[in-house]
A and B are shown apart, each in its own frame.
Chain A
Amino acid sequence: MQFAFTEDQLLFRDAVAEFFANECPPEKVRWSWDDAVGRDASTWAALAEMGVLGLTVPEAFGGMGMNEIDLLPILTEAGRYAYPGPLVETVAVVAPLLAESAPAAIAEKWLPGIADGSVIATVQLDGQPFVNDMHIANLLVAQRDDRLFAVPADKVRSTQQVSVDGARRLFAVEWDEADAELIASGDAALQAVNRAFDRGAVATAAMLIGLSEQMIAMTVAYVVDRKQFGVPIGSFQAVKHHLADAELKVSFARPAVWAAAYGLAMGSADVDREVSMAKCFASDAAEVVARKALQTHGAIGYTTEHDLHFWLKRSWALSSSWGDALWHRRRVAHLLLDN
């Protein structure tokens, strides 16, 4: 029993954290809101260079062939820095899906590009109304009934939607089967879809943990600095208890997210339940933390001049992506009660 990350995993995490600290400071997140495209190719190329984009691509296709446990700390850092690029879609979901479920020709066509950064992939499964980052993607992996397709981006017609998180880029999409290549059909496709959905949910949960930790850190810094009645507001018990509640939520969501990544990597028999518990707890935690962070910041947090709103809005968006807490809690209820 060793419920912790290895030295190597933590070293890789630290390197990625340092990269995001330099390349994705809050000004960069603000730029993503304001810029029409909102994504910068040099950051993506640097992530490829570091091995982040090829992390889940098999070695035979130029990647590192690593698993969900290795990826988890990286995604938590991406969340901490509110990095807006499509890491969940490309690295956590599409790369392992193609590696596991696609015919060799399709895998060979796309996977090396994912690893070297030349292919950005995104995904749409049943129940997901919109696609992230279609505007910069080269590949859309999409479900239609019990079939799963690879659709080249230039064959996708898209209509942009507008998220409360201005750094997100969401699209409603249409495409024709004639333009797409079949990845899998029938039970094989549905299994691949289920697994892809579980991976997306855990990856998003990992990001929510990072977002939550950062909201707590920002709030702690603020309440230590901000004085009222001649003392730091962090010395007031009401403020302390808001922050303690926030820390409590994250502290007991975090191990659930780790366990779900472990369950995915090891093929646990209870993986669906583990995944849904992780996303349920991470979503709930992020919602509570966001509320406490805003309330504790007071009026300054209610402006768009302060950076906090980037984290609030990302956490609102991600807590309801890949299944919200309600959806996942019901899935756990079904798995526990209906047998």
Chain B
Amino acid sequence: MDLNFTPAEEAFRAEARAWLEANVPVGLPSGDTAEGFALHVEWEKKLFAAGWSVVSWPEEYGGRGASLWEWLIFEEEYYRAGGPQRVTQNGIFLLAPTIFEFGTDEQKARFLPRMAAADDLWCQGWSEPDAGSDLAGIKSRAARDDERGGWVINGQKTWTTRGAFCNWVFGLFRTDPEAARHSGMTYLMVPLDAAGVTVRGVERLDGDEGFAEVFFDDVFVSDDLVLGGVNEGWGVAMATTSSERGLTLRSPGRFCAAADRLVDLWKRQNAAGEHAERVAAMRDDVAQSWMEAEAYRLATLADVTGLVNGVSQGARSSLTKIFWSELDVNLNETALRLLGPTAELIETSPDAVDGGAWMKGFEFALSGPIYAGTNEIQRNVVAERVLGLPRK
């Protein structure tokens, strides 16, 4: 057992920290509004230009070939420096690993560098009005068009995060309607400016236009936009969702940074001397939230040790997803209880503490137990595939 990073890794940390401290933008608005999104894309391009946008990718695609440990270190430093959530995340964290695993050389060369540079902005198209947790129930259809060498899509996707601002969507479409539920689906990448695509933004719980519905009316996509095999989309998609549940989307750095800010908030409230009873009563909850973030960091170190030694997380990624999403809610709830009567003030309110960031964080955190497979589905996965309970 050795919990130290190597001198080379520590040098990498120092380099990342120096650059981030000098360059991380302060006070960007939410990236889930049209204006905010544009500013975030600008920041992503700056990250890319300095070589920090996708540190763990090979250099030929815009990365710096960093190890998994270095990636974790970068994430710690990114959130420690106050870096905003990545609006490119659906591409770089979810689609990219799938392209690395299933994509052709042409697809890698065509999509990865532009994704890293935030030239292409990707959203995901899984859920449909009648298929959410039961993803294999999707109905959106892609029909074969041999003449043109591709597929014609009809149907609708929904809850597509940042769909109104992106220019590409990836997701599952039914290509063999006769096949059994989990067969007959194909993983397609679709340009949102293609003829027949309509995107309608949907305002989220937190007031941002972060959601979208995407309608497909006779949308043609050529064969080179199929990722993995035709009718093999389920297996390809499962690779993506395990990234979403597990390590890549939610590195511990974000939660550890939030936990440190919570400790700082408690100290400021304590020093202010108002609401002394409330502040005193919240001590244990603040400690608990801080420890949950730390537990997530330690569990990640163990998981990455496993990955480096060739042991994949498998279905245990569902435990990871439940834990980070619930700790995120707990942490923000703790902050709101600490604030008490001013907790309800949002960013546009003059007296909002920390610019209303805690209510915003709470509202955002509430999506965690729902997206990427609800935590109820994750608990089923844990019971069936980690513990071995019978499906029926």
Q: CA separation between A247 and B294, bound complex, in Å?
A: 18
Binds B, one of A89-97, A236-244, A315-323: A236-244
Q: Does A5 contact B (CB under 8 A)?
A: yes
Residues of A within 8 A of B306 (CB): 4
A237 to B322, CA, bound (A): 16
Could you say which of B6, B263, B383 contacts A240, with CB atoms under 8 Å apart?
A: B383
| Complexed CA–CA distance, A243 and B382 (Å) | 8
- With A277-B294, A337-B286 as known contacts, state yes or no: A223 contacts B263, CB within 8 Å: no
Q: Which residues of chain B have C-beta atoms less than 8 A from A254's C-beta? A: 302
Q: Which stretch, A14-22, A30-38, A255-263, touches the partner chain B? A: A255-263
| Residue of A with least CB distance to B297 | A255
CA distance A258 to B295 in the complex (A): 11
Contact A281 B383 (CB under 8 A): no
Please list 26 pairs of residues, one from A and one from B, whose beta carbons are closer than 8 Å in the complex, sorted by A's number: A1-B3, A1-B9, A1-B69, A3-B302, A220-B387, A224-B390, A231-B392, A235-B390, A235-B391, A239-B389, A240-B380, A240-B384, A241-B376, A243-B382, A244-B379, A248-B382, A251-B319, A251-B323, A255-B302, A258-B302, A326-B284, A330-B283, A333-B286, A336-B286, A337-B263, A337-B287
CB–CB A251/B299 < 8 A: yes
Q: Tell me if B's interface is mostly helix, strand, loop or mixed.
A: helix
CB under 8 Å from chain A, chain B span 267-307? 267, 270, 283-284, 286-288, 290-292, 294-296, 298-299, 301-302, 304-306
| Contact call B379/A262, Cβ cutoff below 8 A | no
Asked if B298 contacts A3 (CB within 8 A), the reply is yes
Also in contact, A1 and B319, with CB within 8 A (given A255-B302, A330-B283) = no
B349 within 8 A of A: no
Is B52's CB within 8 Å of the partner chain A?
no
Q: Report the minimum CB–CB distance from A279 to chain B (whole Å).
A: 11
User: How far is the CB of A280 from the nearest CB of chain B, in Å?
Assistant: 7
Interface contact B288-A337, CB-CB below 8 Å: no
B1 adjacent to A336 (CB under 8 Å):
no
Residue among B1, B284, B387 facing the most chain A CB atoms (10 A cut-off): B1
Question: Can you name the residue of chain A whose Cβ is closest to the Cβ of B292?
Answer: A252
Specify which chain B residues have a CB less than 8 angstroms from the CB of A330 in the assembled complex: 283-284, 287
Known: A2-B2, A216-B387, A247-B386. Is A337-B299 also a contact (CB below 8 A)?
A: no
A290 to chain B, nearest CB (A): 17
State whether A333 and B4 are in contact (beta carbons under 8 Å apart), knowing that A1-B69, A255-B298, A277-B294 are contacts in the complex. no
- Report the separation of the CA atoms of residues A253 and B302 in the bound assembly, to the nearest whole angstrom: 12
Q: Say yes or no: A1-B382 contact (C-beta < 8 A), given A234-B390, A251-B299, A333-B287.
A: no
For the complex, what is the distance from the CA of A217 to the CA of B99, rounded to whole Å?
Answer: 38
Report the Cα distance A235→B380, complex, angstroms. Answer: 10
Cβ–Cβ < 8 Å partners of B299 in chain A: 251-252, 255
Q: Is A6 an interface residue (CB 8 A)?
A: yes
Are A262 and B1 neighbours in the complex by a CB distance under 8 Å?
yes
Is B383 within 8 A of A252, CB to CB? no
How many B residues, CB 8 Å from partner? 49
Min CB–CB distance A317 → chain B (angstroms): 23
Chain B positions within 8 Å of A186 at CB level: none
- Assuming the contacts A4-B1, A336-B286, asked whether A259 and B382 have C-beta atoms less than 8 A apart, the reply is no
Question: Considering the chains assembled together, what is the distance between the CA atoms of A3 and B305 in angstroms?
Answer: 6
Write out the residue numbers on chain B whose beta carbons fall within 8 Å of the beta carbon of A336.
Answer: 263, 286-287, 290
Number of interface residues of A (CB under 8 A): 44
Contacts of B283 in A (CB 8 A): 330, 333, 337
Evaluate whether A252 and B288 lie within 8 angstroms (CB atoms) in the complex, with A241-B379, A258-B1 already known. no
The reply on A25 being an interface residue by CB < 8 A is: no
The answer to the question of A232 belonging to the interface, with a C-beta cut-off of 8 Å to chain B, is yes
Residues of A bordering B, CB below 8 Å:
1-6, 69, 216, 220, 223-224, 231-232, 234-235, 237, 239-241, 243-245, 247-248, 251-256, 258-259, 262, 266, 277, 280-281, 326, 329-330, 332-333, 336-337
B302 / chain A contacts, CB cutoff of 8 Å = 3-4, 254-255, 258
In Å, the complex CA distance between A231 and B390 comes to 9
Check if B173 is an interface residue, CB within 8 A of chain A. Answer: no
Contact residue among A1, A235, A240, A266 (Cβ-Cβ distance under 8 Å from B379): A240
B100 on the A face (CB < 8 A): no
A2 near B305: Cβ-Cβ < 8 Å? yes
Give 20 new A-B contacts, CB below 8 A, not counting A277-B291, A330-B284: A1-B4, A1-B9, A3-B1, A3-B301, A4-B309, A6-B1, A223-B389, A232-B390, A234-B390, A240-B379, A241-B380, A244-B383, A255-B295, A255-B298, A266-B3, A329-B287, A329-B291, A333-B284, A337-B286, A337-B287
B388 and A4 contact, CB distance less than 8 A: no
The answer to whether A240 touches B305 (Cβ under 8 A) is no
How many Å lie between the Cα of A69 and that of B3 in the bound state? Answer: 12
In angstroms, how far is the closest chain A Cβ from the Cβ of B326? 9
* Inter-chain contacts of B322 with A (CB < 8 A): 244, 248
Interface string of B298-332 (1 = CB under 8 A from A): 11011011100100000010010011000000000
A220–B291 alpha-carbon span in the complex (Å): 29
The 9 closest A-B pairs by CB, nearest first: A240-B383, A333-B287, A244-B379, A255-B298, A234-B389, A244-B382, A3-B301, A333-B283, A332-B287
Contact between A235 and B298 (Cβ–Cβ < 8 Å)? no
Q: Which residue of B lies closest to A219 (CB)?
A: B387
A216 to B302: give the CA distance in the assembly, Å: 21
Q: Look across to chain A and name the residue whose beta carbon is closest to the beta carbon of B284.
A: A329
Distance (whole angstroms) from the CB of B253 to the closest CB of chain A: 15
